[in-house]
Chain A
Amino acid sequence: MSTRADAERIELLQGTLDLLILRTLMPGPAHGHAIAKNIERNSEEVLQVEQGSLYPALHRLIKRGWIAAEEGVSENNRRAKFYRLTPKGRKQLRVETSRWEKMARAIAGILNPAGEEAKP
């Protein structure tokens, strides 16, 4: 499985994948394949998901009540499940996003030359 292209990709941490799914569903319901594609596209193909691992994550989110699944018809014209954000999930997304941003800032602060941006 490990090709040279894979080496440049970043393995996703589990919590991160949850956040990305929630973010992807913000605009509206989507089916599994669309979610996977969306995550890959928006991260410019750097954040790489083994597409299948999306499904346990989706079910975890359903179990927690953050997203819900409903029957629909895919562009393939087949029966498919569409996932949408629940109000609870929307709230969770806000919490997670702000936490993520805080952490990203903190990491960026450590990696970048100390103090330069902090001192106006």
Chain B
Amino acid sequence: MKLRRRVACDIENDIREHIEIETRENIGRGMAPDEALRTAMRRFGNPVRIAEETRAVWRPEWLTRVRQDASYAVRGLRRNPAFAAASILTLALGIGMSTAVFSVVSAALIKPLPYPHPDRLVWVALNNRRFHFEASSAPDFADWRERARSFEAMTGYLDIDSTVQDGAESTKNAFIHITPEFWRIAGAHAALGRLFAASDRAVVVLTWKMFQQRFGGNPGVVGRVVRIDGREETIIGVLPKDFRFLMPIGSEMGMPGGIHSEAEVFAPNIITPELRSRSNGILVMYAVALLKPGVSAAKAQAEIRDIQTRMIHEAPSMRNFYAASEPVVVSLREKLVGASRRSLLTLLAAAAFVVLIAFANFGNLCLARATARQREIATRIAIGAGRGRMIRQFMVEGLMLAGFGGVVGIGFAYASDALLVRMSAAAVPRLAEAGIDWRVLLFALSVAMLAGILFGLLPLVSLSGTPVYIALKDGGNNSPAGSARLRLRRALVAGEMAIALVLLTGAGLMLKSFARMYERPAGFEPQSIGTMKVFLSGPAYGKPESEVSYARRALETVSRSPGVEVAAVTNAVGTGAAQVDGLTFPPGQAPMVRERSASSGYARVVGLPLISGRWMKDGEAAPVVMVNESFVRRVFAGADPIGRRLRLRGIDGSAEIVGVVGDLKMLRLDADAEPEILIPYEHTPTPRRVDIIFKTPASPRAVMSEVRRAVVRIDPTQPPYGVMTLEQALAGSIAPRRFDLLLLGAFAASAVLLALIGIYGVMSYAVAQRTREIGLRMAVGARPGEILSMMLKDAMVVAAVGIVVGAAAALALTRLMAALLYNVRPNDPVIFAAVMIGLAATCLFASWIPALRAARVEPVQALRCE
């Protein structure tokens, strides 16, 4: 076989040799050298063709035929570059969009987690109905780890921002305190140094990124002592570059505090006896476990429930909390991506719609082309090309276009993946891992193949009934096949319209949700509010007096900074059951309210309106509080609360309500305002965190760095972080929805574009086909205006059918996306009406040009043609 291949390879050499010998012989017969060569060449034949024929001998039969078809198809497409370009672009758009979305979905829902036993990893927690959170705690975790038999290993962790001081430089970094079982569960090994074990204290392990960015990738940092929140700790290792920490963290689950960026430093999570006792409240912690092989999550959950039932008796102080808690053991993947599954599947469905429209348009183009080639096809059938041969020919052409479309589409998907990751990496779980892998390529390939085969063959459907002689006679313009094709094309366009309407409705509903989310009271101007956080750490803090004194100094410093109109310090203290003197709620029914500490400037910075009562001032002698309107509604059922007294944690006695302020969404844009209490910051036991906010008439960006420097000067060991405008902070809270809207909007836009191209194409075709008829009508007295309205009516019938069908489908489908909407009903009549009218209007516009062309037909010329 090897020899054979060499034989085939050397053919050019053999031919050259042959011609040389012949030339020499010719010279020997007395010819001049150049004549001798010419004669030899003539006797030999065309060397290129012969080399090709010779090589063809070695090719399998079917390959030869496919090559023939392919080269025929290429020639055909080259003759009609507009068709080829339109088809390839249409398909690339459809394939590219769907592939990009698929790669995102695949990364989130299909790709296994990058750990050794992804299927056995579970999230273990208590779901508390009253506090609306799902977490574990230090004592619960320790009990489960000791008593539960379902797990091979269990790790407990919590996330927190801490200060890393190395020499003179302090930074705030995202820490994960985690028990050492994690390394085994995650299958992690150190790239440098080692990872910590159960016996290690006062050590940290860096991620690769932290190692590179903060320590310049210098291997010498292993063994170095740095100050973490003022304590001396040793860097003992660095994690490899491809290590990923994918466990759920507090901020993703709506817990206050916690880290807001990727994990950067790992430290041992040590459960001290104090942490284990439940006498002084419990430390929230999260737990992830590796199930033993063969143990189901349900069985593990039953075991945890047993342990918790016993705990109710062992820890009476926790009885109420445990009674309202339900154990949860779910697959880690489900925990990570479950919440975004619906939105991802909605996007995938939307992408599928775009693919359908793109396919329909491609089919439309193919039909138009089949019409143009009617005579050629008929001729080929007349001279004996079999039906099978024609099918193969169409299929090869379709597949070739689909192939090109697929390649361009994959490039498109690659680019949009990069764009999506850059724009909103936090919007979808594991988005950063999205990329073009084999699953995605397989998907793109299948879509392309389907398009090529299905729609490449579409013209044959309409071709089959045509007698050859008719096709030959008039090129098909008035043949039965011609009108069958027109019917088919109209149906395709109506289908495109319907799908475009569904997508537009979806995008419209999302857009309205967005408008609703951004609705804000007058006076609230997040774009001119700067925010930054300080987390007070180290031995100097931890007592209320030192923290309040820091807050007071920060407030004075920032208020004096140039460009700052008004400043405030504030902090979300926590959430608890409302306790009002003289009000009793049934057990477990007291409304949950948020407590916020604030200085008096808070209301002016965020623009809160005073509804009744008076403002609280800085330096109030007794703790007085303000509540918001939601609080009044939920707790007092709308009755006047001024003068009533509240009980608050950490405040002796009770606090009088002196004023009511308007509602404001400060934390998340996509949640309604919640009942809130404002407490003077001087009277609040703050949990170490101080949020500094300030309003400026200029752009906050301009003054932000100056304010930051001023805050650093107060205490250089407490660097502020999370420096951004409130607008940015709020935008971050709806990143997933923005991501959905962005994609859905892009889909809807391309759907409409494709549908318009479709209706334009069909109208142009109809005009061309009916030129003679139009000419005749005009010859017998029809006016251009009548022709125009006749053609437009024709187009609008197609559009109307599409729009009505689409509206019905949208009504059924948008219900499925109710969870993605905010304060908008899925059948919002305004959106439906706007979308239907808008689409009809654009259709009218798209068909105007061809209709106008029809109205300008010269009767004489039209009748003479053909």
Interface residues of A (CB under 8 A from B): 1, 31-33, 36, 50-53, 55-56, 58-60, 62-63, 68-69, 74-76, 78-81
**Contact A69–B3 (Cβ < 8 Å):** yes
At the interface, is chain B mostly helix, strand, loop or mixed?
Answer: helix
Query: Which residues of chain B are near A74, meaning CB under 8 Å?
Result: 17, 21
Question: A52: which of B3, B8, B17, B47 is its contact (CB, 8 Å)?
Answer: B47
Q: Is the CB of A81 within 8 A of B20?
A: no
Cross-chain pairs A/B with CB under 8 angstroms, 9 sampled? A1-B42, A51-B18, A51-B43, A52-B15, A59-B58, A63-B4, A63-B57, A78-B20, A81-B7
Contact residues in B for A33 (Cβ distance below 8 Å): 17-18, 21-22
User: Which residues on B are within 8 Å of A, measured CB to CB?
Assistant: 3-4, 7-8, 10-11, 13-15, 17-18, 20-22, 24, 42-47, 49-51, 53-54, 56-58
| Bound-complex Cα distance A31 to B42 (A) | 20
A52-B46 in contact given A81-B10, A81-B14 (Cβ < 8 Å): yes
Q: Contact: A76 with B57, CB < 8 Å?
A: no
Smallest beta-carbon distance B108→chain A, Å: 53
Which of B4, B46, B57 is within 8 Å of A56, CB to CB?
A: B57
Given A59-B54, A63-B58, check contact A80 B14 (CB 8 Å): yes
Are A32 and B45 interface neighbours, CB within 8 A? Answer: no
Instruction: Give the tally of cross-chain contacts (CB within 8 A).
Output: 72
Residues of A within 8 A of B22 (CB): 33, 51
How many Å from the CB of B23 to the closest CB on chain A? Answer: 10
A52, A59, A76, A81 — which one has the most chain B CB atoms within 10 A of its CB? Answer: A52
Return the contact of B7 from the options A1, A31, A69, A75 (Cβ within 8 A): A69
Most buried by A among B15, B49, B50: B50
Which 7 residue pairs across A and B have the least CB separation, nearest first? A52-B45, A52-B50, A59-B57, A56-B53, A50-B45, A33-B21, A51-B44
Which residues of B sit under 8 angstroms from A75, Cβ to Cβ? 21
- B residues less than 8 Å from A50 (CB atoms): 43-45
| In-complex Cβ contact of A60 among B10, B47, B49, B57 (8 A) | B57
Contact A62 B18 (CB under 8 A): no
Whole-angstrom distance from the CB of B45 to the nearest CB of chain A?
4
Complexed CA–CA distance, A52 and B42 (Å): 10
* CB of A36 to closest CB in B, whole Å: 8
Q: Taking the nearest CB of chain A, how far is it from the CB of B648, in angstroms?
A: 94
Q: How far is the CA of A1 from the CA of B49 in the complex (A)?
A: 16
C-alpha gap A78/B10 in the complex (Å): 13
A69 partner residues in chain B, CB cutoff 8 A: 3, 7
Bound complex: CA A52 to CA B14 (Å): 10
| A55→B11 contact, CB < 8 A | yes
Contacts of A76 in B (CB 8 A): 17, 20-21, 24
Inter-chain contacts of B53 with A (CB < 8 A): 53, 55-56
- Which of A1, A31, A36, A56: most chain B CB closer than 10 A? A56
- Cβ contacts under 8 Å, A32 to chain B: 14, 17-18
**Contact status A79-B15, CB under 8 Å:** no
* In the complex, chain A residues whose CB is within 8 Å of the CB of B10: 81
User: Which residues of chain A are near B51, meaning CB under 8 Å?
Assistant: 55
| Bound Cα distance from A78 to B58, whole angstroms | 25
A78 to B49, CA, bound (A): 24
The reply to whether A62 and B4 form a contact with Cβ atoms under 8 Å apart is yes
Known: A51-B43, A63-B4. 6 other contacts (CB 8 A): A33-B22, A52-B45, A56-B54, A56-B56, A60-B57, A76-B20
A74 to B20, CA, bound (A): 11
Most buried by A among B20, B44, B58: B44
Chain B residue nearest to A75 (CB atoms) is: B21
User: In the complex, A50 Cα to B49 Cα: how many Å?
Assistant: 12
A59 surroundings in chain B (CB, below 8 A):
7-8, 11, 54, 57-58
Q: Which residues of A contact B8 (CB under 8 A)?
A: 59
CB of B301, distance to nearest CB on chain A (Å): 68
Residue of A nearest to B22 (CB): A33
Q: How far is the CB of A49 from chain B (nearest CB, A)?
A: 9
- A31:B17 contact, CB within 8 angstroms: yes
Choose among A1, A36, A51, A80 the residue that contacts B17 (Cβ–Cβ < 8 A). Answer: A80
Q: Give the distance to chain B from A30, nearest Cβ to Cβ, in Å.
A: 12
B13 and A79 contacting across the interface, CB-CB below 8 Å: yes
- Check if A52 sits within 8 Å of B58, measured CB to CB: no
A53 B50 Cβ-Cβ under 8 A = yes
The residues of B that contact A62 with a CB separation of less than 8 Å are 4, 7
Most buried by B among A32, A59, A78: A59
CB distance from A78 to the nearest CB of B (A): 6
Alpha-carbon distance between A70 and B819 when the two chains are bound, in angstroms: 76
Shortest CB distance B120–A (Å): 56
Residues of A within 8 A of B49 (CB): 52
Which chain A positions have C-beta within 8 A of B54?
A: 55-56, 58-59
A1, A55, A69, A81, most chain B CB atoms within 10 A: A55
Name the CB-closest residue of A to B10: A81
User: How far is B14's CA from A79's CA once the two chains are assembled, in angstroms?
Assistant: 9
In the complex with contacts A63-B57, A69-B3, A75-B21, A55-B14 CB distance below 8 A:
yes
Q: What residues on A are CB-neighbors of B57 within 8 Å? A: 56, 59-60, 63
**Measured CA separation A75–B20 after assembly (Å):** 11
A78 pairs with B17, CB closer than 8 A: yes
Residues in B neighbouring A53, C-beta threshold 8 A = 45, 50, 53
- The reply to whether B44 and A52 form a contact with Cβ atoms under 8 Å apart is yes
Instruction: Please measure, in the bound complex, the distance between the C-alpha atom of A119 and the C-alpha atom of B51, giving whole angstroms.
Output: 52
Expressed in whole angstroms, the minimum distance between the Cβ of A39 and any Cβ of chain B is: 13
Contacts of B13 on A, CB cut-off 8 Å?
A: 79
Bound complex: CA A20 to CA B401 (Å): 46
Note all chain A residues with C-beta closer than 8 A to B21. Answer: 33, 74-76
Docked CA distance A53–B18 (Å): 12
Considering the chains assembled together, what is the distance between the CA atoms of A69 and B13 in angstroms? 14
Query: Which of A50, A51, A63 has the most chain B CB within a 10 Å cutoff?
Result: A51
Measured CB to CB, the nearest residue on chain A to B49 is A52
Residues of B within 8 A of A78 (CB): 17, 20
Cα distance, A51 to B41, chains bound together (Å): 9
* Complex interface: chain A residues within 8 A of B15 (CB): 52, 55
How distant is the Cα of A52 from the Cα of B47 in the complex, in angstroms? 7
Complex contact B50–A55 (CB within 8 A): yes
Distance (whole angstroms) from the CB of B15 to the closest CB of chain A: 7
